[in-house]
């Protein structure tokens, strides 16, 4: 049975700790009442309670003494509630703390915007030296945890909620593009995260001429290494990610590849505050297969204009999944606007 | 010379050095540096003779005092005063790990206490001796992060931690009592499971005796005088940040007490 990322993390860390006495597992009341690490290594497990900023600082103190703390809480809290602690500890000090955050993106679904995290990568991406991984599926999550434990580097790991994902591709290492489908055509879909990977797999089934590369490590340094491989593969990159445009992987790739068209299918600007599961919430944001296909075809300017409807604007069409609506994510602040102005017109809105 | 006499001499020399830093082009947080200086001297006296004891100046704006004391204890070889605040030198207005003897960057208030708690917890996890002495300001106690950390220390029974509060009654915009009073601080800290000791924050001998980290978390409320040692600044909230001329520094050093 495939484990969801959260469970794969706990299981892998518990196994690693058996051979590495430096590993300490910290929780902030969101690890669940039964934790395999606590059962196997009770002396090195500590649920610090609901105090994320202090938890990060305490982890930094432990790391300073030579320990290797892994701290887990939801992405919204780990990156925003504790933002200054992350900046000073993982960023400025470069403390080898691994921050493992489920509930990335809108995987919290009906939990609402307080528990969504469409801005976490922007926060961490702004901190030089902090590695960022967005693993897909059990094997890649395990690989990320092993890599993080094996190096003296600060690291942010974004996970989803409880849904398992059978990744139809091999885990991608740091600086690598994980190739799901290579066609040699002019357009390559680049997925970040589990749901975007699924969208891109579905999109390439409809459009076999599109390539699909999957990225796991998405901090600036890692992307700088992977960028050359992506650049060689296609002229146009369509980055699909569960994140807002600001601080997105697309924006980083656009900076790294000024000679390429880098388009973005992202989460747009709305604050989805209705019920429903992960997929429903993604659909309400316009992160759908038609949106990916529309972006691959460079969209149509007027659809982008519609998609640019600001927060609070009606979005019934978005939920329907029509190409117009699904371009919403594409249009909102796509970095492609900078590098391929002829393809998007959001600047005129 | 015994340990305490040496510490008192160090404090006197460090005080003069802090006044010199106030005469730098940048000026310095003079009042809080002079109030906390004897606490720092006592804390490093404790740490020098006990392996694994880390001193963390959480009220990092008192960096001038920290640099002066680290110079006296030998961690900083060169005299930091002529270099304070200057381009190309590590002696910034808030301390960083670039300064010899400084493990954590502090100054954004509240974090130093939490780092110290982590260090103290590391002693237990590693089975190594030592602990931490966190030096915080009474104004700093207004930070939520302080209370998050105290809660964790109590809940997880993190021993080996001494929290010493420099109770100088001042903060950036005036007096703590006027801005956000720390009412019943001894009772509050006791309610968080700390053994609470009230002490004269300028009695180095007493401080050196009570700051030693022990199995139970300990809070030392050290009553201090902002601007201590310079008659013109003692007890004045306006001494929080001071920039003076070299001539004024010479006058102040001549009447140090």
Q: How many domains does chain A have?
A: 2
Task: Classify each residue of B15-44 as buried b or exposed e, where b means 16 or more C-beta atoms within 10 Å of its C-beta.
Answer: bbbbbbbbbbebbbbbbbbbbbbbbbbbbb
Two structure tokens written together for A252 = 């980083």
Is residue B106 within 8 angstroms of chain A, CB to CB?
no
Indicate whether A251 belongs to any domain: yes
Q: How far apart are CA A209 and CA A158, in angstroms?
A: 30
Of A51, A53, A58, nearest to B118 by CB-CB distance is A58
A275 with A208, same domain: the answer is yes
| Domain membership of residue A131 as a residue range | 5-158
Is 50 exceeded by the pLDDT of residue A328? no
Question: Looking at residues A198-224, what average pLDDT do you find?
Answer: 98
Is 90 exceeded by the pLDDT of residue A90? yes
A92 with A183, same domain: the answer is no
Is 90 exceeded by the pLDDT of residue A337? no
Is 90 exceeded by the pLDDT of residue A329? no
A63 with A186, same domain: the answer is no
pLDDT band at A316 (very low <50, low <70, confident <90, very high): very low
Indicate whether A164 belongs to any domain: no
3-class SS of residue B109: coil
Closest-CA distance, A108 to chain B, in angstroms, reads 26
Closest of B221, B152, B137 to residue B193, by C-alpha: B152
Provide the strand spans (E) within B22-146. 53-57, 131-137
3-class SS of residue B81: helix
pLDDT digits (tens, 9 = 90+) for A260-270: 999 999 999 99
Is 80 exceeded by the pLDDT of residue A335? no
Which region, left, alpha or beta, applies to residue B229 given φ > 0 means left and ψ of -120 to 50 means alpha? left
A149 with A263, same domain: the answer is no
The answer to whether the CB atoms of B126 and A67 lie below 8 A apart is yes
Two structure tokens written together for B119 = 């260090």
The residues spanned by each domain of chain B are: 3-254
The answer to whether the CB atoms of B126 and A46 lie below 8 A apart is no
A191 with A339, same domain: the answer is yes
> Which residue does chain B place closest to A64, by CA atoms?
B119
A208 with A121, same domain: the answer is no
Q: How far apart are CA B177 and CA B198, in angstroms?
A: 18
Strands A187-192 and A211-215: parallel
Indicate whether A171 belongs to any domain: no
The answer to whether the CB atoms of B152 and A55 lie below 8 A apart is yes
Q: Residue A312's pLDDT is what?
A: 34
**Is residue B44 within 8 Å of residue B53, measured between CB atoms?**
no
Is residue B151 within 8 angstroms of chain A, CB to CB?
yes
Render A75-129 in DSSP notation, one character per residue. Answer: HHIIIIITHHHHIIIIIIS----EEEE-S-BTTTGGG-GGG-BSSHHHHHHTSTT
Is 70 exceeded by the pLDDT of residue A327? no
Q: Residue B245's pLDDT is what?
A: 97
A106 with A213, same domain: the answer is no
A15 with A135, same domain: the answer is yes
* Mean pLDDT for chain A overall: 88
Is residue B111 within 8 angstroms of chain A, CB to CB?
yes
What share of chain A in percent tops pLDDT 90?
Answer: 85
The pTM for the full model equals: 0.92
**Is residue A178 within 8 Å of residue A121, measured between CB atoms?**
no
Is residue A87 within 8 angstroms of chain B, CB to CB?
no
Of A44, A55, A93, nearest to B125 by CB-CB distance is A44
Number of Cβ pairs closer than 8 Å across A and B? 88
Which ranges of chain B have pLDDT less than 70? Answer: none
End position of a domain, from candidates A124, A158, A192 = A158
Question: Looking at residues A307-331, what average pLDDT do you find?
Answer: 32
Q: Residue A1's pLDDT is what?
A: 87
More confident residue, A310 or B10: B10
User: Which residues, listed in sequence order, are joined to residue B136 by a DSSP beta bridge?
Assistant: B165
**Is residue A197 within 8 Å of residue A180, measured between CB atoms?**
yes
End position of a domain, from candidates A125, A158, A191 = A158
Interface probe with B: pick from A50, A52, A61, most Cβ of B within 10 Å: A61
Closest of B214, B215, B224, B164 to residue B189, by C-alpha: B164
Strands B131-137 and B53-57: parallel
A189 with A75, same domain: the answer is no
A150 with A185, same domain: the answer is no
Q: Largest Cα–Cα distance of chain B, in whole Å?
A: 53
Q: Residue A343's pLDDT is what?
A: 31
Question: Looking at residues A8-15, what average pLDDT do you find?
Answer: 98
Indicate whether A163 belongs to any domain: no
Q: How many helices (H) and strands (E) does chain B have?
A: 9, 7
Spatial CB neighbours of B124, under 8 Å, sequence gap ≥ 6? B158, B159, B160
Question: Looking at residues A265-276, what average pLDDT do you find?
Answer: 96
3-class SS of residue A185: coil
pLDDT band at A345 (very low <50, low <70, confident <90, very high): very low
**Is residue B162 within 8 Å of residue B208, measured between CB atoms?**
no
The answer to whether the CB atoms of B117 and A54 lie below 8 A apart is yes
A136 with A182, same domain: the answer is no
Is residue B117 within 8 angstroms of chain A, CB to CB?
yes
Q: How far apart are CA B21 and CA B97, in angstroms?
A: 20
**Is residue A220 within 8 Å of residue A125, measured between CB atoms?**
yes
> Which residue does chain B place closest to A88, by CA atoms?
B105
Task: Classify each residue of B146-165 as buried b or exposed e, where b means 16 or more C-beta atoms within 10 Å of its C-beta.
Answer: bbbbbbbbeebebbbbbbbb
The ipTM is 0.97
Residue with tokens 């590391």: B122
Residue A39 burial (CB < 10 Å; 0-12/13-18/19+)? exposed
Q: Residue A322's pLDDT is what?
A: 32
pLDDT digits (tens, 9 = 90+) for A31-83: 999 999 999 999 999 999 999 999 999 999 999 999 999 999 999 999 999 99
pLDDT digits (tens, 9 = 90+) for B156-169: 999 999 999 999 99
A338 with A189, same domain: the answer is yes
Residue A267 burial (CB < 10 Å; 0-12/13-18/19+)? buried
Cα-atom radius of gyration of chain A, to the nearest Å?
19
Degrees, nearest 5: CA angle A6-A7-A9: 65
Q: What is the CATH number of domain B3-254?
A: 3.40.50.970
**Is residue B64 within 8 Å of residue B14, measured between CB atoms?**
no
pLDDT digits (tens, 9 = 90+) for B128-137: 999 999 999 9
Interface probe with B: pick from A27, A63, A65, most Cβ of B within 10 Å: A65
Is residue A64 within 8 angstroms of chain B, CB to CB?
yes
Domain CATH code at residue A56: 3.40.50.970
Q: How far apart are CA B170 and CA B188, in angstroms?
A: 20
Domain CATH code at residue A273: 3.40.50.920
**Is residue A101 within 8 Å of residue A55, measured between CB atoms?**
no
End position of a domain, from candidates A158, A187, A202 = A158
Spatial CB neighbours of A68, under 8 Å, sequence gap ≥ 6? A20, A22, A23, A24, A96, A98, A149
Of B118, B121, B145, nearest to A53 by CB-CB distance is B145
């Amino acid at each position: 049975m495939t484990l969801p990322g959260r469970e794969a993390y706990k299981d892998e860390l518990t196994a690693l700790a058996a051979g590495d006495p430096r590993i300490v597992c910290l929780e902030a009341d969101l690890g669940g009442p039964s934790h395999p690490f606590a059962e196997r290594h009770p002396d090195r497990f500590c649920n610090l309670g609901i105090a994320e900023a202090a938890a990060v600082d305490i982890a930094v103190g432990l790391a300073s003494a030579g320990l290797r703390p892994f701290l887990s809480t939801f992405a919204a809290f780990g990156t925003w509630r504790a933002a200054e602690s992350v900046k000073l500890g993982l960023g400025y000090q470069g403390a080898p703390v691994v921050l493992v955050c489920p509930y990335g993106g809108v995987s919290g679904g009906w939990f609402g915007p307080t528990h969504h995290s469409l801005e976490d990568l922007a926060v961490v991406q702004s901190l030089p030296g902090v590695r960022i991984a967005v693993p897909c599926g059990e094997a890649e999550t395990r690989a990320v945890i092993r890599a993080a434990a094996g190096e003296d580097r600060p690291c942010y790991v974004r996970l989803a909620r409880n849904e398992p994902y059978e990744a139809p591709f091999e885990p991608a290492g740091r600086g690598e593009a994980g190739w799901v489908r290579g066609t040699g055509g002019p357009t390559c879909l680049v997925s970040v995260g589990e749901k975007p990977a699924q969208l891109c797999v579905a999109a390439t089934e409809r459009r076999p001429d599109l390539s699909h590369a999957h990225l796991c490590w998405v901090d600036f340094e890692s992307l700088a290494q992977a960028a050359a491989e992506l650049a060689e593969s296609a002229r146009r990159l369509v980055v699909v990610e569960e994140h807002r445009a600001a601080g997105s992987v697309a924006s980083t790739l656009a900076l790294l590849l000024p000679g390429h068209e880098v388009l973005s299918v992202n989460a747009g600007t709305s604050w989805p505050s209705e019920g429903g599961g992960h997929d429903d919430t993604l659909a309400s944001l316009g992160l759908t297969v038609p949106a990916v296909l529309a972006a691959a075809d460079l969209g149509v300017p007027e659809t982008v204009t519609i998609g640019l409807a600001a927060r609070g604007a009606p979005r019934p069409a978005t939920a329907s999944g029509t190409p117009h609506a699904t371009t919403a994510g594409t249009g909102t602040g796509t970095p492609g606007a900078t590098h391929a102005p002829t393809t998007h017109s959001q600047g005129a809105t | 010379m015994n340990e305490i006499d040496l510490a008192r001499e160090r404090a006197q020399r460090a005080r003069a050095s802090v006044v010199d830093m106030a005469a730098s082009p940048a000026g310095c947080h003079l009042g809080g540096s002079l109030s906390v200086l004897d606490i720092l001297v006592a804390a490093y006296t404790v740490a020098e003779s006990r392996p694994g004891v880390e001193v963390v100046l959480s009220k990092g704006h008192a960096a001038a005092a920290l640099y002066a004391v680290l110079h006296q204890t030998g961690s900083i070889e060169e005299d930091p005063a002529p270099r304070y605040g200057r381009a190309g030198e590590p002696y910034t207005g808030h301390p960083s790990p670039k300064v010899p003897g400084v493990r954590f960057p502090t100054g954004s208030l509240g974090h130093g206490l939490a780092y110290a708690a982590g260090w103290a917890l590391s002693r237990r996890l590693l089975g190594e001796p030592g602990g931490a002495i966190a030096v915080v300001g009474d104004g700093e106690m207004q930070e939520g992060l302080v209370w998050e950390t105290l809660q964790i220390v109590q809940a997880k029974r993190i021993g080996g931690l001494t929290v010493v509060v420099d109770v100088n009654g001042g903060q950036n915009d005036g007096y703590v009592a006027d801005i956000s009073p720390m009412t019943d601080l001894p009772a509050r800290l006791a309610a968080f499971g700390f053994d609470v000791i009230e002490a004269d924050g300028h009695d180095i001998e007493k401080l050196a005796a009570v700051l030693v980290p022990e199995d139970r978390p300990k809070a030392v409320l050290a009553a201090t005088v902002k601007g201590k040692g310079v008659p013109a600044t003692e007890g004045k909230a306006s001494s929080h940040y001071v920039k003076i001329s070299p001539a004024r520094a010479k006058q102040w050093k001549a009447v140090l007490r």
